[in-house]
Amino acid sequence: MSTVTVHPASALSGTVVPPADKSIAHRAAMLSAMADGTSRIVNWPSSADPASTLACLRQLGVETGEEDGVLLIYGGTLHRPSAQLDCGNSGTTMRLLSGILAGHDFDATLMGDASLTPRPMQRIMDPLLQMGARIESTDGHAPLRVRGSRGLQGITYRLPVASAQVKSTVLLAGLFAEGETTVIESTPTRDHTERMLGLSTVEMGEDRYISSTRENRPRPGMWSIPGDFSAAAFFIAAASIVPDALIRITGVGLNPSRTALLDILRAMGAGVDVRNERTVGGERLADLTVRNRPLSGVQVSGSIVANAIDELPILCVACCAAGGPSDIRDAGELRHKETDRIQAMTAGLRALGADITEHADGWTIRGGKPLTGGHVDSCHDHRIAMALGVAALSATDAVHIHGAEIAAVSYPGFWDELARVAIR
C-alpha cells in the first residue's frame, strides 16, 4: 500500500488531459468482442478497470492486437474459459459481462477483489433469472457462476434501482433472447449502452422504455473514446476551490447523462467555461476552462443524483470550501460502490477537520471551515483517494493519503498530474 503526501496549494495552473472514459471503454470492448470481425478502439485507456474487462474477454477466447496505438479486437464467438474470470475491482465488468454470458451455452465463473466481492449482485441476478438464465452466487455476491444457457426469453423489466449497470446487463442479455427485452427506467442513468448499440428508446411521461433484440447484435466498427468526465471532475473541483486557479481540461466527454456536476458547481458559483464543442463517435466533447470563484452551499437531491453519482465524493470537497451549508441527499447508492462512499468521505473529511454530518443517504456539510493536514485512507476506492487528494490542496498543512495507488483503477498518473498543476 503506498502513501502519497499532498501539500497545500496557493494556486493551480496548466492543462490536463483526462484518461479515456472507463464506462465507454468497457462497453466498446464488450461490443467489439461480440461483433464478428475486427473492431478498432481509439484512445483505449491504461486504467485498471478496462484492463480487467479486456483480460476477461481474452480468457473468453477473444484475440486482441495493436496498430499505431489503436486497440484491435478480433471479435466473434466467445468460448468457455479455462479458469475463473477475474473482474478485479470492476463492478461494470462483472455485471455487464454476466448479461452477455447469460446468453451463452457454456459455464463461466466471475470473481473479483476484496472490494468487489461484497457488492450487490442480486440486482442483476433477479432480471437475468426471470429471462431464464442460470446463475448461482453466494447470497447475492460474487463469485457468480453463470451456467450454460438453455435459451433466454425477452422480458419487460422496471428498474427497482437507478443503475446503468443493471439496465445494461439486461439489455445485453436481450441481445441473446427470444423476442424483445425492454427496460423501463424512471430516473435517467448514463445511456452509453443504448447509444452504442443504437437501441430504440421511447419516453413516456417520467419513464424511458429501452428495448433490445437479437437484431441489435453489434457489428464490427471503430470506437473513439472521449476523455472521462468523472476523471476530469477532480480537476474541475480542484480549480474551483484553490485560490488563483486557472486550469484547462481538454477532450472531456460531455454526455448529458453524466454532467450534472457542472450544473451543480455552476449553481454554487463556480467559473467553468465550455469551449471547442465537437462530436466524436456520437459523443459530445469539449475543452473546459475552470477558474477559482467564491462558492456558496448547495442542495442536491432527487433525480439529478443518478447523473452525478460518481462525482458526489468530489462534490463533498467543493462543499467544504463553500461559504455556507450544503445538503446532499437521496444518494444511498453510494453505500454500494467500491467502498461505502458516504462513510469513507465522512471519515476522511472529518479527519481533516471538516464539519460534516453523515446521513443514511448523504451528508450535511457546513462549509467555510479551513481543512487541516492529517492522515486519511482511500478505503481501497479510487474516487475516495482522488477526492481526498484534491481536498488536501485546500488544507492548511500536508495530507498523507494511504492506499493512494488505487487511483489507477480509473486514473493512472493522477498523482503526478495533481503535483504538476499545483503551485505551493
Among residues 191, 310, 377, 381, the one annotated as catalytic is 310
Active site residue 310: yes
Work out whether 92 is an interface residue with ligand S3P (CB under 6 A). yes
Site string for ligand S3P, 168-187 (x = CB under 6 A): x-------------------
Of residues 43 and 189, the one with the C-beta less far from ligand S3P: 189
Residue 309 interacts with ligand S3P (CB under 6 A): yes or no: yes
**Stretch in the footprint of ligand S3P (CB under 6 A) among 9-17, 162-170, 269-277, 397-405:** 162-170
> Is residue 310 a contact point for ligand S3P (CB under 6 A)?
yes
Task: Enter the C-alpha cell of residue 170.
Answer: 439486461
CB neighbourhood size of 4 (10 A): 21
User: Among residues 287 and 310, whose Cβ is nearest to ligand S3P?
Assistant: 310
Q: Which stretch binds ligand S3P (CB under 6 A): 68-76, 164-172, 212-220, 413-421?
A: 164-172
CB 238 within 8 A of CB 389: no
Instruction: Supply the minimum distance, in Å, between the C-beta of residue 277 and ligand S3P.
Output: 23
For 197, the enclosing helix (H) or strand (E) is helix 192-197
Distance, CA of 223 to CA of 399 (rounded, Å): 39
265 touches 251 (CB < 8 A): no
Q: Distance of CA 107 to CAs 79, 144, 288, 328, Å?
A: 10, 11, 46, 43
Tally of residues, the chain: 424
Q: Binding residue for ligand S3P (CB under 6 A) from 8, 16, 19, 23?
A: 23
Closest CB to ligand S3P belongs to which residue? 23
User: What binding mask, one character per residue, do residues 189-228 give for ligand S3P by CB under 6 A, x or -?
Assistant: xx--------------------------------------
Could you tell me the smallest distance in angstroms from the CB atom of residue 291 to ligand S3P?
Answer: 28
CA-based end-to-end distance of the chain: 26
Nearer to ligand S3P, 172 or 285 (CB): 172
List alpha helices for 292-375, DSSP H: 304-307, 312-321, 341-351
Separation CA 253–CA 226 (nearest Å):
5
DSSP-based three-state secondary structure for 239: helix
Q: Does 164 bind ligand S3P (CB under 6 A)?
A: yes
For the chain, the maximum distance between any two Cα atoms, rounded to a whole number of angstroms, is: 62
Q: Which of 115, 163, 240, 346 binds ligand S3P (CB under 6 A)?
A: 163
Smallest gap from Cβ 357 to ligand S3P, in A, equals: 24
**Shortest Å, Cβ 103 to ligand S3P:** 19
Kindly indicate which of the ranges 5-13, 57-65, 160-168, 311-319 contains the residues binding ligand S3P, using the contact rule CB under 6 A.
160-168
- In one-letter notation, the amino acid at residue 335 is R
Is the distance from CB of 121 to CB of 94 less than 8 angstroms?
A: yes
Residues 6+ apart with CB under 8 A from 116: 87, 88, 89, 90, 91, 94, 142, 338
Question: Which residues of the shown chain bind ligand S3P in the complex (CB under 6 A)?
Answer: 23, 92, 163-165, 168, 189-190, 309-310, 333
Catalytic positions, written as ranges: 310
